[in-house]
Amino acid sequence: MKDLKYFAAYSIPLVACLGLYFKDAFVFLTPIYAFIMLPVLELILPVDSTNLSSEVVEHKLKKQLFDWLLYLNLPIVYGMLFFGIYEATNTPIETFELVGMIISVGIVLGVNGINVAHELGHRQHTNERFIGKALLLPSQYMHFYIEHNFGHHLHAATPEDPATAKYNQSLYSFWFTSVYRQYTNAWKIQKKLLKNNKKGAFSLKNDMFWYVLLQIGFLAIIFYLFGNIGLIFSVTSAIVGFLLLETVNYIEHYGLTRLKTKSGRYERVKEIHSWNSNHIIGRIVLYELTRHSDHHYKSSKKYQVLDCHEESPQMPYGYPTSMVLAMVPPLWFKIMNKRVPKEMILT
């Protein structure tokens, strides 16, 4: 029965679906659930820092249930987006309802879309990576696959990494720097990958080129089927989705820095270079993303068997609560700055 706990990750699209159906004030059920109810539950429920035994790990790795729980997010994400667009363009609604619907769908795109895409993007099988990229498409963030896998995991916790928030950098500043730098970095990485394979920028192997075409084509189809409102809905919900991702990026590595060795190179990525959280609700809803230290320690490790490392810096709250705190910079700095190791603070 414990394996079924990850069905709770579907609670966010379920709440969003109810909001889209009933409308009126119900359209704000999803942000209320995600950023008020879940944080409250995190404060009530106990923290679980236990790790699985080797026998249990072997058992869980053999169960395909954990993989199918990820795959099922593909129809859920696309279904929610098109359901939201259909409701927005075919039923009479007020402006506030449209705003609430966009936010709700955007949260689903971020949590059940980009977050799951992140997990599948590290898999070894092509089919799983394909599903991951398909989950990035509605958020117009397909470049994330390249930058995250070939950039972030190499440069995490260094100034060279756009997805690592600097000490005393506000969330809102980070949104701008991370979004812009990750996109430009993805092009640079793609160019380097092509060069290593003796391919030019105009090669058919240029994935960034295909991502642009796919994303523009996706929006064109939505515009053709649903008009201006559908296009606005898709673009703005995508923005909500990837800003949710960037908020997670912000709290995952905030203020943590890899030191340089005598040779002038950065030390290797260790468990101390990511913030860890063992708050059970965030772990379940985000498919163990909160055990981020172990993910960086071995990125190919599947979510259901990630460990907690005692040496990792521990967040005082779970990820949902921390995301809310990050939206209030003075409060975030007051809580988190004293937890950043002094030797990591760059002057």
pLDDT tens digits along 53-111 = 999 999 999 999 999 999 999 999 999 999 999 999 999 999 999 999 999 999 999 99
Instruction: Give domain status of residue 192, yes or no.
Output: no
Instruction: Give domain status of residue 196, yes or no.
Output: no
Cα separation, 113 vs 241, in Å, equals 8
* pLDDT on residue 240: 98
| Cβ atoms 140, 314 nearer than 8 A | no
Average pLDDT over residues 1-24: 93
Cα separation, 34 vs 28, in Å, equals 10
Mean pLDDT rounded to a whole number for the chain: 94
pLDDT (tens digit per residue) in 134-175: 999 999 999 999 999 999 999 999 999 999 999 999 999 999
Confidence check: pLDDT of 15 > 90: yes
Q: What are phi and psi of 266, to 5 degrees?
A: -75, 145
Q: What are phi and psi of 5, to 5 degrees?
A: -60, -25
Query: Residue 107 has which token pair?
Result: 């949260």
Confidence check: pLDDT of 315 > 70: yes
* pLDDT on residue 46: 84
Which residue range forms the structural domain that includes residue 38? 2-180+209-344
Comparison of pLDDT for 326 and 198, the residue scoring more: 326
Instruction: Give domain status of residue 293, yes or no.
Output: yes
Cα separation, 50 vs 53, in Å, equals 9
Cα–Cα distances in angstroms (integers) from residue 20 to residues 30, 109, 281, in the given order: 10, 15, 24
Instruction: Give domain status of residue 25, yes or no.
Output: yes
Cα separation, 296 vs 274, in Å, equals 8
* pLDDT on residue 1: 60
Q: Among 187-191, 197-201, 224-228, 252-256, which stretch is predicted with the lowest mean pLDDT?
A: 197-201
Confidence check: pLDDT of 2 > 80: no
Instruction: Give domain status of residue 204, yes or no.
Output: no
* pLDDT on residue 210: 96
* pLDDT on residue 347: 53
**Domains: count for the chain:** 1
Instruction: Give domain status of residue 78, yes or no.
Output: yes
- What percentage of residues in the chain have a pLDDT greater than 90? 86
Instruction: Give domain status of residue 194, yes or no.
Output: no
* pLDDT on residue 217: 98
Instruction: Give domain status of residue 234, yes or no.
Output: yes
For residue 300, the Cα-to-chain-centroid distance in whole angstroms is: 16
Comparison of pLDDT for 189 and 200, the residue scoring more: 189
Amino acid at 168: N
**Which residue in 325, 311, 237, 240 sits closest to 282, CA to CA?**
325
Cα separation, 3 vs 45, in Å, equals 18
* pLDDT on residue 111: 97
Average pLDDT over residues 216-239: 98
pLDDT (tens digit per residue) in 237-293: 999 999 999 999 999 999 999 998 888 899 998 889 999 999 999 999 999 999 999
Confidence check: pLDDT of 51 > 60: yes
* pLDDT on residue 299: 84
